[in-house]
Chains A and B, each alone.
Chain A
Amino acid sequence: MSRYRRRGDRGILYIAVAILIAAALSALLVPVFSPYTPTEQNLELRFAPPGSEGHLLGTDEFGRDVATRLAWGAWAAAQTAGGGVLLAALIGVPLGVAAGLERRVLDPVIALVVDAALSFPGVLLAVAIIAVLGSGAVQVSIALGIMFAPLFARTVRAETLSVSQEGYVEISRGLGTRTLRRICMHIVPNVLPNVLVIATSSFAICITIEAALSFLGLGSAPPQPTWGLMLRDARNYLSVAPHLAILPGVVLGLCVFALNTVGDALSEYLDSGHPDTSNT
């Protein structure tokens, strides 16, 4: 893989980072400074177009401020998707390390579970989990966690395997270092960068799945402001107020694009000479 990025790629990376910073800032600041709450209705001012006075991005079918709802939606997306990724890492990383170290019993069992879980189409698995747990934002986080845990487990297992066969780890084992200490000293620091890369890219996928599940009515319930719900409501008003569908769609698309770009760059950076990882 090329060690040097082309200039165009770098430009795109800057744009992506800018988008993420903008999203993060609006998610943090708009809820504090907006004169509106995300569920506050103004039935006198329904379907105001973007650029209306007092409503920069217009209002929706209940006269709620779209800009405020989009910002709160970013919060909701970050919470639900972030919770999912965190849970996935908490389940997946220990499983992966265990499978990588204990090759006789644990590895085949964990591999079987992981392969079985990965063979399910993603959203279908999430829908099945929600069918059991019931719908709601927390349930979506749990579903996302279960969905993405195998991905973490598989990557971490491979990394653990290669690291534990490195000379210095072998030596450390020969010297009788205790397993737990060995994991903390050698395995975890080596595995962490890869976990970060997977976390970034799966965060992007989690956001789209969260939106998809909300759109299907399986995620947060109205009047919660989430991008998926905003898109769901907007589809009935495509002819009268297209901005209701376009705005959350564009915001969702931009965020996913930005996260993926940053994730790719991160993985490339780590692959191309990060001191802790070998050049594989």
Chain B
Amino acid sequence: MKRLLLILLITTVGISQLLAFGQSERDDESLRLAMSGNPDTLDPQATPGTLTFQVTRSIYDTLVEPDVDGEIVPALAASWEADDDATVWTFHLREGVRFHHGADLSADDVVATFERMLDEEFASPNADELGPIENIQAIDDHTVRITLGEPYAPLLASLASSWSAILPADLVEEEHDFGAVPVGTGPFRFREWVQDSRIVLDRHDGYWMDGAPQIGGVVFFIIEEPSVQLQGLLTGDFDVIDTVQPESLDRVREHPETRLDETLSSLAMVLSMNTRREPLDSVDVRRAITHAVNKEQVLDIAYGGGEVGGTFMDTGDVYHRDFSDRYPYDPDAARELLAGADADVGRTLTIAVPQNYEAHVNAGQLYQQMLEDVGLDVELKLVEWSTWLSDVYGDGDFDLTVIGHTGKLDPEGRLGDLTSERFYTGWQNAEFNELVRAARRTADVEERQELYAEALEILAEEVPMVFTGTNYRYIGLRRHVRDFHMDGKLDTYDFRRVHFLNE
């Protein structure tokens, strides 16, 4: 009896081995990715949330897109041209592009998409990103014309960003719920979304790009706990995990079947100061606080390493200028500045920290200690994310706060916010505002770089925030996953070239 069982076992194993050998192409399998949160919606126009974009980037296409180096290249628009003063832009659409529900892409879809986004009733949080658009019209079936009220250099970058995903006109007309069931032209089509559990995408066979996608689909597993993500990667339950904690980096590096994808993120990690409040309205106090912070230590310990910054730009950006030598770590200089400051520095300062971001909570504890070391009285207050958004970021009700500002493809996205009086730091500088406004209207890259360099230097001197720097973004991968691309600027994945290597 025992022998019979053994024979049976050997045969079964043998057959399954044979079968496995027969389909040595693993490429019909899906990529399993562990994602650290549940997106609030899958409608790319309804949210500024990165989690949403990380999924919708694979379901939709944009007119243009950034390539691996961040250069803007054709996507749904095969070519485009602008008139001399860069206010009238004409896009020629690619032919033969098909939506997941079968309709062909035409100029009407592009018009319907942007009209929905600019519709005041729809109130898209991304509407302002499109700039001074006056009108969008379909010239013929495959030509679209966008007319601007004034020159707006960031237009192409905005059209390449995830919120500019092209939706099908017929479904826009029907007021289809794109938040629950997204339909686009992208490399993968939506199958199902089990809330707080997983989002499943299948390959879109008629995709316009030759030879893409190569895998059968993508499954986003929603796994909030980093240790669970790590365990799943090490055991092979996940092919990709989106969070690797600083302490676990070596485990992923050293494991024979996993590797680490390390890119500079597009975040500017900051300790923001409320310049409406005493004593933070004094530039001397703000400089003292900057002197007090050991930026490298904060980056290493809280954020898993990175590049030290000195102004409000992620260090990998082409517009970034290195001002990290202004007000470097020097506790003695900080004490001296505080002693001489014409402000009441005895008040207890509260650092508001969004409690769902463990890295920011850790950074908050480090900042607290560093500021106390130079004689300030500092306490830490953990707030919920929704409270942070409404009270701190919305109403400017805080002393100090720890946060990372995401980058945009264009510096306008970052610096334009600071020109608003309603921006949470409350810092205003007429010269800075003028420079940013001028750069917005300048198409010439070098000229823009100079304007922005001046603006960034004002920030480095005025320090409305401690510009700690830009962290590394770590993604854990199984070794058989090849040609995985993480777009550091948009913080989204491009799975179109991904394939599995079989040993």
Contact = CB atoms under 8 A, between A and B. Distances in A.
Nearest to A135: B382
Measured as residues with beta carbon below 8 angstroms from the partner, the interface class of chain A is 10 to 19
Given A41-B369, A238-B227, A222 B361 contact: yes
B365 A222 contact: yes
B381 A236 contact: no
A44 to B, nearest CB: 10
Interface in B358-394: 358, 361-362, 364-366, 368-369, 380-382
Interface in A214-254: 217, 221-223, 235-240
B428 interface: no
Interface in B226-255: 226-227, 245, 247-248, 251
Contacts of A41: 365-366, 369
Please classify the interface of chain A as helix (H, G, I), strand (E, B), loop, or mixed, using the class held by over half of its residues.
loop
Most buried by B among A39, A41, A217: A41
A236 B365 contact: no
Nearest to A237: B247
Contacts of A186: none
B355 A46 contact: no
A223 B381 CA distance: 10
Given A221-B380, A221-B381, A236-B247, A46 B227 contact: no
A168 interface: no
A61 interface: yes
Contacts of A128: none
B383 to A, nearest CB: 10
B380 A222 contact: yes
Interface in A130-171: 135
A217 B301 contact: no
Nearest to B387: A134
Contact of A235 (B227, B251, B297, B364): B227
Nearest to A63: B301
A236 B297 contact: no
Contacts of B381: 221
A12 interface: no
Contacts of B364: 222
A38 B355 CA distance: 21
Given A235-B227, A236-B358, A239-B247, A217 B382 contact: yes
Nearest to A232: B358
A239 B301 contact: no
A191 B362 CA distance: 49
Contacts of A221: 355, 380-382
B297 A43 contact: yes
Interface string A204-216: 0000000000000
A62 interface: yes
B334 to A, nearest CB: 17
B366 A217 contact: no
A223 B365 contact: yes
Contacts of A62: 301, 362, 365-366, 369
B378 to A, nearest CB: 11
B185 to A, nearest CB: 40
Given A61-B362, A235-B227, A46 B301 contact: yes
B429 to A, nearest CB: 34
Contacts of A235: 227
Interface string A114-142: 00000000000000000000010000000
Interface in B320-376: 355, 358, 361-362, 364-366, 368-369
Contacts of B358: 236
Contacts of B366: 41, 43, 62
B382 A239 contact: no
A223 B358 CA distance: 13
A135 B380 CA distance: 13
Contact of A239 (B248, B361, B365, B380): B248
B301 A223 contact: no
Interface in A9-56: 39-41, 43, 46
Nearest to B297: A43
A223 B247 contact: no
B376 to A, nearest CB: 15
B306 to A, nearest CB: 16
Nearest to B381: A221
A222 B297 contact: no
Contacts of B380: 221-223
Closest 5 CB pairs of A and B: A221-B382, A41-B369, A240-B247, A223-B365, A237-B247
Interface of A: 39-41, 43, 46, 61-62, 135, 217, 221-223, 235-240
Given A62-B369, A223-B368, A236-B358, 13 more contacts: A39-B369, A41-B369, A43-B297, A43-B301, A61-B301, A61-B362, A62-B366, A135-B382, A221-B380, A221-B382, A223-B365, A235-B227, A240-B247
20 contacts: A39-B369, A40-B369, A43-B297, A46-B301, A61-B247, A61-B362, A62-B301, A62-B365, A62-B369, A135-B382, A217-B355, A221-B380, A221-B381, A222-B364, A223-B365, A223-B368, A223-B380, A236-B227, A236-B245, A236-B358
